[in-house]
Structure 1
Amino acid sequence: MTIVMQSAVQVIVDTLTDPAMLLAAFAGGAFGASLGALPAFCFTGFAVIAGEASNLALDALGDSNAITSEVIAASGITGNVAFGAVFGPHISFAGGAAAAAYAAKKGYMDFGFDYHEAKNIPAALGTKPDVLAVGGLFGIFGLVITTLSANFAAPWDPIAIGVVLSAVAHRLVFGYDLIGDVRGGGILDMSPFEREEMRPAASDAGAMTDGGETKQRLATEPWLPHQYEWANVAMIGLVTGILGGFIALTTGSPFLGFGISAATLTFLNLGVERIPVTHHMTLPASTAALAYTAGAEELGTIAIVIAAIFGISGALTGEVVQRVFYAHADTHFDPPAAAIVVNTFFIAVLAMVGVFPSSSWVPVPL
């Protein structure tokens, strides 16, 4: 245990004292801010698809190690681009979300967004130096958190925890409430939105600018107005969970379903209504299916059922998180990232107690 701990600490020190890595993380966070957090994440999805297609092609050509989790994490398009300094969500997406929080606080954003402008993650923030610098610094912060989590084998997705803690950090650093003022019948109650109730105009953050005009804000602001009702959320979780499990079991990739889900958000970013957000459903589902089969890629009914359960769990966990940390607050707090943390933790625990023969790619403490 001591040797393992010393090795982990050395890897952390090497990473966090590597000027090239720190510069790359800064640039990735700044680039994510310039594009906007959501557009940057869409490119994460495309890069994952490209990386996993490359790994599958290598596997088809006879490289038996082409799609192992170690290779995916260490090299290639998936590891270095999609989950690395260029489009890693802990760097580019988290940096973009933090930059939006900062830009809104400084009064730079006035795009007519329906909610507080600090939640406007589809918006590209351009080239303003201080905004990009904030994105870059939070890119480095995301790298630090993810490196610590991965090398100490914390039992959850190290990238997702980086996104979550970065959101907590940007709220604290820029003076936003962590949860916000709860209205209605409780923290999980979305009925004020359904009744179109408004916040008191004189309250803190009760009003916002909209194209130069001031208007009141909704009392509660659902993360996705078309995807918040419990039954609907559970149903899309069931469907995408099955598909995520099927993709994983037939390709051996725990990440391809996630990449497809992330890429579909391009349409949401372009304004297509009712596009569901599903990457927090497909990733736990894919991972759980492979953890249950211990990487044997057996397309069995039980594995698909387990994937469906984790798809539903990811969906409902994300909905709880949005009601607690998004709906009443002023900045973006990513429900999918939090749901992925929770559900990969479930997978790690099931592996540690012997219910699953492996945890797939999810770290487990030695």
Structure 2
Amino acid sequence: MSIFALIGAFGGGVIGAYLGALPAFILTGVLALAGAAVAMAGGADVTLSYVTFGSYLGPHVAFAGGVAAAAYAGKKKLLKSGTDILTPLFGLSDPMTLIVGGVFGILGFVIHYLAGGVLKLNTDLPGITVIVSALIARFAFGSTGLMGKVQQGEKRTYISGGKELSCLILLGAGIGTATGFVYQTMAAAGAPEAVTGNFPVLCFGIAALSLIFAQTGFGVPSTHHIALVSALAAVLSGNPLMGVLFGILTALFGDFVGRTFNSHCDTHVDPPACTIFIFTFLVNILFGNGFFLT
């Protein structure tokens, strides 16, 4: 563990708080896209390791810090809801909100280190860290419990139905088809391992950056869990159809997690992060070993 990176994680958590969790994550997407492009072109993998997925903008630091800060601000009635991950929190003029973000940035760094450096978990480390951090924030600052409280007259659903379900399946199949068969095109052309190995990161960056449309008020869903896992499945299996299959599965599972753990609640638990860490583990077990997006 680097003491410098640990200290830096406090700053990363503050950044996530003052920007807001989702805006910070969008910046992660920008740098993931740029870093993957550089790595695919044969450049040094410095930005990805130390900035994009490190103590500056790593989701386990900045996004997780922003989520916790929003939960705290919601508890203190500074935000309408602790589930608000879009609002930059600097405008609240509350130093403690920023401090909470910084503390959870450090916590995210430590959880990430324990998961990867000590437990050697064969999964996506930022993803599992975001979930653990969010659950800690939920029990520390929330009041609706693990799965939220369904109000009288409301009904909990665990999966979309009707046309919404059809669109969800098509979304997963469409992204999985793109990631899987573009990978196959590159592999058939003899692309080196630096290209195919960083392709899932590129797909993740594109999807994460697309959330800028959600941030500005348009109905664009989160798809980085679909893009990352489907691309990873295609690359590790060498089969583009695995991209399609895992695209559909991650789209459905993300919807399930969102409705189960992120509905009827007062803090945010991230469905894509949960989907990424579970399905990265499955893909690694099925098709190969080794961490991804560490």
What is the Cα deviation at residue 134 of structure 1? 0.2
Separation in 2, partners of 1:133, 1:102: 10
Residue in 2 that maps onto 1:149: 115
1:27-79 Cα shifts (integer Å, max 9, x gaps) = 000111000000000000000011111112226xxxxxx5xxxxx5xxx1111
What is the Cα deviation at residue 346 of structure 1? 1.0
Separation in 2, partners of 1:247, 1:32: 33
Instruction: State whether structure 2 residue 208 is matched by structure 1 residue 242.
Output: no
Residue in 2 that maps onto 1:100: 70
Residue in 1 that maps onto 2:56: 86
1:105-160 Cα shifts (integer Å, max 9, x gaps) = 111124xxxxxx21111100015311110001111111111111112321221110
Instruction: State whether structure 2 residue 68 is matched by structure 1 residue 133.
Output: no
Separation in 1, partners of 2:73, 2:131: 20
Bigger radius of gyration: 1
Residue in 1 that maps onto 2:271: 335
CA gap 1:120/1:185 in 2 versus in 1, 3 angstroms: closer
CA gap 1:187/1:362 in 2 versus in 1, 3 angstroms: same
Question: Of residues 82, 92, 97 in structure 2, which corresponds to 1:118?
Answer: 82
Counterpart amino acid of 2:174? Answer: V
Residue in 1 that maps onto 2:221: 276
Structure having greater relative contact order (Cα 8 Å, sep ≥ 6):
2
Residue in 1 that maps onto 2:164: 229
Unaligned runs of 5+ in 2: 187-194
Counterpart amino acid of 1:44? Answer: T
Separation in 2, partners of 1:255, 1:93: 17
**Conserved 8 A contact 1:41-1:262:** yes
- Misfit runs of 4+, over 3 Å: 182-187, 246-249, 359-363
Pairwise mapping of residues 291-330 of structure 1 onto structure 2 (< 5 A)? Answer: 291-293=236-238, 303-330=239-266
What is the Cα deviation at residue 362 of structure 1? 3.9
1:176-225 Cα shifts (integer Å, max 9, x gaps) = 3221223655552779xx9xxxxxxxxxxxxxxxxxxxxxxxxxxxxxxx
Separation in 2, partners of 1:128, 1:185: 36
What is the Cα deviation at residue 348 of structure 1? 2.2
**Conserved 8 A contact 2:108-2:133:** yes
* 1:86 aligned counterpart, secondary structure: coil
CA gap 1:121/1:342 in 2 versus in 1, 3 angstroms: same
1:224-245 Cα shifts (integer Å, max 9, x gaps) = xxxx932221110111112223
Unaligned runs of 5+ in 1: 1-13, 60-65, 67-71, 111-116, 195-227, 294-302, 351-355
Separation in 2, partners of 1:22, 1:268: 31
Separation in 2, partners of 1:257, 1:169: 29
TM-score by structure 2 length? Answer: 0.87
* 1:44 aligned counterpart, secondary structure: helix
Instruction: State whether structure 2 residue 141 is matched by structure 1 residue 174.
Output: yes
Counterpart amino acid of 1:142? Answer: G
Counterpart amino acid of 1:278? Answer: T
Pairwise mapping of residues 246-265 of structure 1 onto structure 2 (< 5 A)? Answer: 246-249=181-184, 250=186, 251-252=195-196, 253=198, 254-265=200-211
Whichever structure has more helix as a proportion of its residues is 2
Residue in 2 that maps onto 1:223: none
Q: CA RMSD in A?
A: 2.1
CA gap 1:149/1:248 in 2 versus in 1, 3 angstroms: farther
**Conserved 8 A contact 2:142-2:267:** no
**Conserved 8 A contact 2:159-2:255:** no
CA gap 1:21/1:189 in 2 versus in 1, 3 angstroms: closer
CA gap 1:39/1:186 in 2 versus in 1, 3 angstroms: closer
Residue in 1 that maps onto 2:129: 162
TM-score by structure 1 length? Answer: 0.71
Residue in 2 that maps onto 1:212: none
Counterpart amino acid of 1:333? Answer: V
